[in-house]
Amino acid sequence: MPRPATPAAEDCLKTVYAAGEWSDEKITLSKLAQALGVSPSTASEAVRKLTDAGLLRHERYGGVELTEAGRLQALGVVRRHRLIETFLVADLGYSWDEVHEEAEVLEHAVSDRMLDRLDRRLGHPERDPHGDPIPRPDGTVPRPGAHSLADLPEGAAGSVARISDADPEVLRYFADLGIGLDLHVRVVKRREFAGTTVVRLGEGPGGREVDLGDPAVAAVWVLPAAR
């Protein structure tokens, strides 16, 4: 995975990648700008440059996509980000709501050598503290077939495979509730009108039921139980 020039470019590629990771639509300029925290004009300029560099594909007034070269570079950034998050939790005692911000900065600063050392020391992990898959150096990505809890029908059950790290507050909330990776969950009842879902946590008699709001439900991804 070659290194692009600048942190801003890396963030741009990473964001485009992230947009296509769990669904696959091209991201719009305005969403890109918003995700990057810059004005639309700035995002437009950045996209133009990366398109010229052959890392993005983009037709005027259309959505933005990674080229194959761009995808490789994005994977590099994502790999760095997620390995760093894993390291911070596993070795430095960070909690999972603290790591994202730190990784956001460090992903632009660690060398290949350091990344190798981290990877080895962590035992070549396949997912980060939030369950996001860590791209391998060869550009492949471990892909658990997870679905958002929001898309599961009533009665469906599985184990938590991923929790979106977008909002640290949500992560702290889940930690309080005892919701973490690999926890067994079941959709008990949907209350569409109220915007909440009753979810059973844990298997057997030790389980509890909680009432989760839509945003929380959408943040949880589940690997359906084999049946």
Please give the residue ranges that form the binding site for its own copies (CB under 8 A). 88, 91-94, 98, 101-102, 105-106, 108-111, 113-114, 117-118, 121
Residue 123's alpha-carbon distances to 1, 99, 119, 163, in angstroms, are 20, 19, 6, 22
Residue 41: enclosing H or E segment and its boundaries? helix 40-52
Q: What residue 128 binds from Fe ion, its own copies, DNA, none (CB within 5 to 8 A, per partner kind)?
A: Fe ion
Contacting DNA (CB under 7 A), which of 25, 30, 54, 105? Answer: 30
Provide CB contacts within 8 A for 195, sequence distance 6+.
213, 214
Residue 132 is a binding residue for Fe ion (CB under 5 A): yes
**Residue 208: in which H helix or E strand, if any?**
strand 208-213
Helix/strand/coil for 84: helix
Measure the CA–CA gap between 117 and 190, rounded to whole angstroms: 46
20 binds, among its own copies, DNA, Fe ion, none (CB under 5 to 8 A by kind): none
Candidates 3, 21, 22, 41: give the one binding DNA (CB under 7 A): 41
Q: Is residue 119 near Fe ion by the rule CB under 5 A?
A: no
Helix, strand, coil content of the chain in percent (nearest 5)? 45, 20, 35
Binders of Fe ion in range 81-100 (CB under 5 A): 85, 100
Output the smallest distance, CB 28 to DNA, in A.
3
Could you tell me the smallest distance in angstroms from the CB atom of residue 98 to DNA? 23
Q: Among 3, 21, 39, 101, which residue sits at the site for DNA (rule: CB under 7 A)?
A: 39
